[in-house]
């Protein structure tokens, strides 16, 4: 019977099939993993049944337990997690303590912890850039973590429906992406949107104006998807030396 523990913060998204595969690849039994967690990390309440329950998805390890489990299985915490969606989950996936991220991002620890609790990033541009580097966030993840998805989508909708040139700088300020990449993407998106609208309006005897409106609405609803398809998303900051900084 497992001993009771104090209330824990929300558990990270645990990939329990991955935990089982990694343990089996090492030739370890549940008891071996439990012993490692007790002896190496002071998790005295963990038993073979605890580990088995994690692997069956009946229980989920806390952030501290997941970090210890990753070390025991010789992997990174991210290898034991499904897709991270919050600031805290990305930090845990990188195996970083809150004070490590706060220091690298240049914010006070308590302020950082509050931002984790509310999942609302309030750092300035330089701090945001440092956060992206510390957590190695791809551009879409960075936008989600910092709560900038909605503002970015609004800017993109305005860019494709009006004069896109006026939105290059505002969009660039929200992202760890080079200005020239944003400029190229906005130009292409504007051309795609306007061409779609012109094509549907010129159908003449076809479906008529309603079809053009539907095509436009569909494009605008998926504007972020179109944007991510045109800019680099796999780096934490694709700007090279000499490029415009935040």
Superfamily of domain 87-137: lambda repressor-like DNA-binding domains (1.10.260.40)
pLDDT for 243: 37
pLDDT for 15: 92
Q: In CATH terms, are 16-80 and 87-137 the same topology? A: yes
Average pLDDT over residues 51-62: 94
Average pLDDT over residues 198-224: 70
Give me the CATH topology for the region 16-80.
434 Repressor (Amino-terminal Domain) (1.10.260)
* Confidence tier at 197 by pLDDT (50, 70, 90): confident
The rounded distance, in Å, linking the Cα atoms of 23 and 41 is: 17
Which residues are registered as beta bridge partners of 14?
A: 81
Tens digit of each residue's pLDDT (9 = 90 or more) over 107-147: 999 999 999 888 888 888 788 889 989 999 888 988 888 88
Tens digit of each residue's pLDDT (9 = 90 or more) over 170-192: 999 888 788 999 999 999 999 99
The rounded distance, in Å, linking the Cα atoms of 89 and 71 is: 17
What phi and psi, each to the nearest 5 degrees, are found at residue 81? -120, 145
Question: Is the predicted pLDDT of residue 95 greater than 80, yes or no?
Answer: yes
Name the residue ranges covered by the structural domains of the chain: 16-80, 87-137, 148-229
Question: Is the predicted pLDDT of residue 220 greater than 90, yes or no?
Answer: yes
* Confidence tier at 234 by pLDDT (50, 70, 90): low
Between 224 and 7, name the one with better pLDDT.
Answer: 224
pLDDT for 200: 65
The rounded distance, in Å, linking the Cα atoms of 189 and 221 is: 13
Which residues have a Cβ under 8 Å from the Cβ of 169 and sit 6 or more positions away? 179
Between 45 and 120, name the one with better pLDDT.
Answer: 45
Q: Determine the distance from the C-alpha atom of residue 143 to the mean position of all C-alpha atoms in its chain, rounded to a whole number.
A: 8
Instruction: Say if pTM beats, i.e. exceeds, 0.85.
Output: no
Question: Is the predicted pLDDT of residue 203 greater than 80, yes or no?
Answer: no
Chain mean pLDDT for the chain: 85
């Amino acid at each position: 019977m497992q001993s009771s523990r104090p209330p824990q913060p929300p558990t990270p998204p645990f990939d329990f099939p991955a935990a089982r595969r990694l343990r089996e690849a090492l030739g370890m039994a549940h008891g071996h993993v439990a012993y490692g967690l007790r002896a190496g990390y002071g998790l005295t309440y963990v038993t073979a049944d605890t580990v088995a329950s994690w692997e069956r998805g009946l229980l989920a390890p806390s952030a501290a337990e997941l970090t210890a489990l990753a070390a025991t299985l010789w992997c990174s915490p991210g290898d034991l997690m499904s897709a991270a969606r919050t600031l805290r989950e990305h930090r845990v996936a990188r195996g970083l303590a809150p004070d490590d991220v706060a220091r690298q991002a240049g914010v006070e620890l308590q302020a950082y912890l509050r931002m984790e609790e509310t999942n609302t990033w309030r750092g300035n541009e330089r701090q945001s850039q440092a956060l992206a580097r510390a957590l190695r966030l791809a551009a879409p993840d960075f936008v989600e973590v910092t709560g900038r998805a909605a503002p970015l989508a609004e800017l993109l909708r305005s860019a494709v429906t009006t004069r896109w040139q006026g939105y290059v700088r505002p969009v660039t300020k929200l992202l760890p992406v080079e200005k020239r990449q944003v400029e190229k993407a906005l130009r292409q998106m504007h051309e795609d949107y306007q061409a779609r609208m012109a094509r549907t309006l010129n159908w003449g005897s076809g479906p008529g104006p309603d079809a053009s409106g539907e095509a436009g609405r569909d494009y605008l609803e998926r504007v972020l998807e179109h944007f991510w398809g045109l800019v680099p998303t796999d780096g934490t900051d694709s700007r090279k030396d000499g490029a415009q900084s935040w």
